[in-house]
Amino acid sequence: MRHLFFLAAAMIIGIEPTYAANRYNCAVDDTNIKLNIDAGFAEDGGHKLNHFRGALIAKSDRVPEGFRRLMLDSDQLMQSWASDSELRLRIYAQNDVDDPANNFDLLLTVDGSANPMRGNYLLTFNAKGQSQPAQFKGRLTCSEQ
């Protein structure tokens, strides 16, 4: 019985924890937008976000002028989730601090264990004076590193 206990303890000690990928690079280049996102997460428990940056070029004339070329940083990242080949990012920014009516909201959802991973984006631009928000959606690809 004692041998069985030590064998079980040795097996448990020998198991290494598995972590989600610590770095993701996501890209889109379609008729709506050109986007590149780089996000990094700590490998320790909790997988806290430790790096985020990106660039967005909107190709449609429906996009307000102030949002056609954007540099993205962690100040604009509202939500992040990375676990078991699943990535969720929500990015929000206002063009003018004094006028919250001018804003954009970008949601990235990625699922899959294949590398590269496939996902979707939903991008919404709101601008003062527009009767309806400009909304775009499409596919994106992410690689785990």
State pLDDT tens for residues 35-71. 999 999 888 777 788 999 999 999 998 888 788 899 9
Does the pLDDT value for residue 100 go beyond 60? Answer: yes
What is the structure's pLDDT at 98? 58
Residues ≥6 apart with Cβ < 8 Å to 37: 24, 25, 26, 27, 52, 53, 54, 72, 89, 108
- Copy the structure tokens of residue 73: 């940083």
Q: What is the pTM of this model?
A: 0.78
Whether the per-residue pLDDT at 12 is higher than 50: the answer is no
Whether the pLDDT of residue 141 is over 90: the answer is yes
